[in-house]
């Protein structure tokens, strides 16, 4: 594991030093792409906390939107600093997650039904934001009131955001790893396999399910706040509803949801792909970039069902096993 640890440290050092590498005019753009990758990877990791145990949510947009709108509205209307706004957003989203997850777990909504109920939850939040247009701005969205400095959590220098979201991403990985090594993982895996059997050996099914949902929702809300602070604009269609919810799931499944770096690999790949196609096509052939994106996603899902990271790892293992056997 020492080689892996060394590699991870080198990668981390590289990421930390990156903003100071001279890149000419490209720096700002590179940082912009990387910041987005970190934020969405964090959100993807939060999603996979639930997804890996068979709780495939198609409504994480609800938590994202709730988080982003809470901090933005508090700041715009009452001048509450987004630091406190983020706490309020996390608290509110956590509460909302309990309200949704408790009955879902009590009444044993699983499988397809779980996906569809969460999808409906996502749509409820998106449409509610649009319906309350008097104070949320409706479909037009809302601009985060501009101000500079630590209190407003807005910075002109992208490097500040870069380090902020890098830390956020690392924290997300730490939480993922913590869950991975805890009792929760064993309990959740047992629940994912067979709820009745899990309950019969004394696992409190509802408590674990609601707990993991709240954790995932709260982190997603935090990701939403970070995104809103960075872009300084919130919109119900980009932060809530089916579109964004599916995009999160896509990235994670593409990377592989059962491994620590899976969500990050998937997110980095989908964002890089989307950016590349966007720049390649520019203003020509409107819709073509998204068309190819959709087509590639379909092909990836069909041919790499274990995700890119997962498939690669399996391939390496298969290569490594005969080699190890030959060495013995």
Partner 1 sequence: MIDPIFLLEAAINGVLLGGVLALLALGLNLIFGVIDIVWIAYVDLVMLCMYAVYFLVTVYGWPLAVAGVVSIACGALLGLAVHLLVITPILATPPVNQLLATGGLLFFLQSFATFLWSTDHKSVRLALPSFEIAGIFLPSTRLIPFAISILAMLGLYVFLTRTYMGTAIRAVSQDREAMALMGASPQRVYLVTSAVGGAMAGLAAALLSMQYSVHPFFGAQFGPLTFMICVLGGLGNMVGAFVASFVMSEIISMGGVIMSTEMGYVIAFVVFIVMMFARPGGILGARRE
Token digits for 101?
A: 């997850």
Candidates 4-12, 64-72, 124-132, 151-159; binding stretch for partner 1 (CB under 8 A)? 124-132
Q: Which of 76, 81, 128, 311 binds partner 1 (CB under 8 A)?
A: 128
Report the distance separating Cα 28 and Cα 198, nearest Å.
51
Candidates 42-50, 144-152, 162-170, 283-291; binding stretch for partner 1 (CB under 8 A)? 283-291
Using CB under 8 A as the binding rule, whether residue 116 contacts partner 1 is answered as: yes
Candidates 125-133, 142-150, 184-192, 310-318; binding stretch for partner 1 (CB under 8 A)? 125-133
The distance of closest approach from Cβ of residue 138 to partner 1 in the complex, given in angstroms and rounded to an integer, is 9
Using H for helix, E for strand and C for coil, what is the string for 256-324? CCCCCCHHHHHHHHHHHHHHHHHHHHCCCCCCHHHHHHHHHHHHHHHHCCCCHHHHHHHHHHHHHHHHH
Nearest to 111 by CA among 46, 54, 60, 196: 54
Using CB under 8 A as the binding rule, whether residue 14 contacts partner 1 is answered as: no
In the region spanning residues 250 to 279, those forming contacts with partner 1, defined by CB under 8 A, are 250, 253
Using CB under 8 A as the binding rule, whether residue 183 contacts partner 1 is answered as: no
Rounded alpha-carbon distances, angstroms, from residue 38 to 7, 127, 166, 218:
19, 28, 6, 17
Using CB under 8 A as the binding rule, whether residue 56 contacts partner 1 is answered as: yes
Report the distance separating Cα 47 and Cα 36, nearest Å.
16
Nearest to 168 by CA among 28, 67, 74: 67
Candidates 10-18, 219-227, 259-267, 286-294; binding stretch for partner 1 (CB under 8 A)? 286-294
The distance of closest approach from Cβ of residue 322 to partner 1 in the complex, given in angstroms and rounded to an integer, is 27
Token digits for 176?
A: 């993922």
Report the distance separating Cα 251 and Cα 242, nearest Å.
14
Report the distance separating Cα 203 and Cα 101, nearest Å.
17
Q: Which of 150, 295, 320, 321 binds partner 1 (CB under 8 A)?
A: 295
Using CB under 8 A as the binding rule, whether residue 288 contacts partner 1 is answered as: yes
Q: Which of 23, 285, 315, 320 binds partner 1 (CB under 8 A)?
A: 285
The distance of closest approach from Cβ of residue 118 to partner 1 in the complex, given in angstroms and rounded to an integer, is 9
Report the distance separating Cα 69 and Cα 71, nearest Å.
6
Interacting residues toward partner 1 by CB under 8 A? 51, 56, 58, 103-104, 106-109, 111-113, 115-117, 119-121, 123-124, 127-128, 130-131, 242-243, 246, 249-250, 253, 285-291, 293-295, 297-298, 301-303, 305
């Amino acid at each position: 594991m020492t080689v892996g640890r060394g590699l991870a440290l080198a990668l981390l050092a590289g990421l930390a030093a990156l903003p100071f590498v001279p890149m000419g005019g490209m720096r700002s753009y590179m940082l912009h792409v990387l910041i987005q990758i970190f934020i969405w990877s964090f959100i993807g990791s939060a999603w996979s906390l639930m997804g890996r145990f068979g709780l495939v949510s198609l409504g994480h947009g609800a938590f994202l939107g709730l988080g982003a709108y809470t901090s933005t509205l508090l700041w715009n209307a009452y001048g509450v600093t987004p630091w406190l706004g983020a706490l309020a957003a996390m608290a509110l989203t956590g509460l909302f997650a309990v309200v949704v997850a408790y009955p879902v777990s009590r009444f044993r909504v699983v499988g397809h039904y779980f996906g569809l109920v969460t999808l409906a939850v996502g749509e409820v939040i998106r449409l509610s934001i649009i319906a309350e247009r008097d104070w949320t701005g409706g479909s037009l969205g809302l601009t985060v009131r501009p101000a500079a400095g630590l209190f407003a959590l807005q910075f002109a220098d992208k490097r500040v955001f870069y380090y902020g979201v890098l830390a956020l991403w690392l924290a997300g990985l730490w939480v993922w790893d913590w869950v991975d090594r805890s009792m929760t993982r064993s309990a959740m895996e047992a629940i994912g396999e067979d709820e009745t059997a899990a309950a019969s050996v004394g696992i409190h099914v509802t408590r674990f399910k609601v707990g993991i949902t709240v954790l995932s929702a709260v982190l997603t809300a935090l990701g939403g706040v970070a995104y809103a602070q960075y872009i300084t604009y919130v919109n119900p269609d980009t932060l809530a509803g089916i579109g964004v919810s599916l995009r999160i799931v896509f990235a994670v499944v593409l990377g592989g949801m059962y491994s620590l770096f899976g969500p990050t690999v998937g997110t980095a790949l989908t964002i890089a792909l989307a950016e590349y196609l966007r720049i390649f096509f520019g203003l020509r052939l409107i819709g073509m970039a998204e068309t190819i994106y959709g087509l590639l996603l379909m092909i990836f899902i069909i041919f790499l069902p274990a995700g890119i990271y997962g498939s690669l790892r399996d391939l390496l293992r298969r290569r490594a096993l005969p080699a190890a056997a030959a060495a013995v």
